[in-house]
Amino acid sequence: MSRPMPSDATLKAALAASLPPIAPPDLRERILDQARTTTQQHRLSGLVAPLGDPRVSERRQALLLIAILLLVAALVATATAGALLEQRRQRLPIGPPGDPTALANSVGEAYARVPAMALAVNWTSHSTGIHVAGLTHHWADGTGRFRLELNDRDETIYITTGSHIWIRYRLDGPETWADNRGPYADHGGVGDLMLDFRRECGPGWSFGGTDLILGRPAFRLVCGAQAFWIDSESLLVLRLENGTPDPSHPGSLVGEVVALHFGPQSPDLFELPAGAAVDPRPPKAGAATPSVEGPSALP
């Protein structure tokens, strides 16, 4: 037979008798002594505030919430990165961009209508123990005028305007501007801008894949020992690799666009400077219109 539950009063008396009635006499002083030497922690703000809560469950909840938020942020970041990569991947062709020869023709046509832009090309040449590196700067105003600066010994400058190909050179003494004369005569207006690219290819063009140059998708067109990376949007040449097929004369040339900016350029870049000394001799016979695919002088 079960006994009846004791009354609340009996329970209180019995339980109180089972528990110590008062704390040890020195406990209060111990607490205060330690409190006096303990620095209070002030409230955290925002989402991390519950982390300072002395209650374990509150801290756990806060940690869980923060972990969930971090997880969500990570998922969003991953999804965003994935979307960007997918977007980039979709910009890259899965296979060859049609006929490589047709692409080569399109590149040549693209240089006939170069937009206003500025770019820099880094050149590296290796040849039988000789290593040459240099930088060329190019400008186009979008109307068929170009400027090219070589960082060669003479700081040669080309300004191509309409039927003139102005060349500033100092090989024979003072700074002189000549119209299609001197050692750099017959230099094409956009020759260097094309990074030695020519439409014709004896062995025939082939497609070598797609790479990123300056973060831009570029089709790799291969012609024998030469390879050109063609910007998929502007069809400008962004990189050249020119190997020497003759093993007895090993060497290579690499030119790569290292800076590219589309947009209006200063008109002064495409004019002779005021007071420029001009070579009075007439231009070289036959040289008038800059050739889109004229011979290119390497830096």
Partner 1 sequence: VTVVAANEAQKSSIDAALVRRAARGDIAAFDALVASRLDRCYRLAWAILENDADAADATQEAFVAAWRQLPRLRDPAAFDGWLNRIVANAARMSRRHRIRLREVRVRPAATPVDDLATTALAAGDREQRELEAVAERDAIGRAFDRLRPEERAILALHHVDERPVAEIARALGIPVGTAKWRLHAARRALQRSIEAEA
Site residues (CB under 8 A) for partner 1? 2-3, 5-6, 8, 10-24, 27-28, 30-32, 34-36, 38-44, 49, 52-57
Minimum distance from residue 33 beta carbon to partner 1 (Å): 10
Minimum distance from residue 63 beta carbon to partner 1 (Å): 15
* Minimum CB distance to partner 1 smaller for 8 or for 172: 8
Q: How many CB atoms lie within 10 A of CB 66?
A: 14
Minimum distance from residue 36 beta carbon to partner 1 (Å): 6
* Minimum CB distance to partner 1 smaller for 43 or for 131: 43
Minimum distance from residue 86 beta carbon to partner 1 (Å): 46
| Pairwise CA distance, residues 153 & 151, whole Å | 7
* Minimum CB distance to partner 1 smaller for 33 or for 175: 33
Minimum distance from residue 64 beta carbon to partner 1 (Å): 15
List C-alpha distances in Å: 73 to 65, 66, 81, 86, 182: 12, 10, 12, 19, 64
| Pairwise CA distance, residues 229 & 256, whole Å | 9
* Minimum CB distance to partner 1 smaller for 53 or for 186: 53
Minimum distance from residue 50 beta carbon to partner 1 (Å): 9
Minimum distance from residue 53 beta carbon to partner 1 (Å): 7
* Minimum CB distance to partner 1 smaller for 6 or for 183: 6
* Minimum CB distance to partner 1 smaller for 35 or for 274: 35
* Minimum CB distance to partner 1 smaller for 12 or for 89: 12
Burial 208-217 (b: 16+ CB within 10 A, else e): eebeebeebb
* Minimum CB distance to partner 1 smaller for 41 or for 87: 41
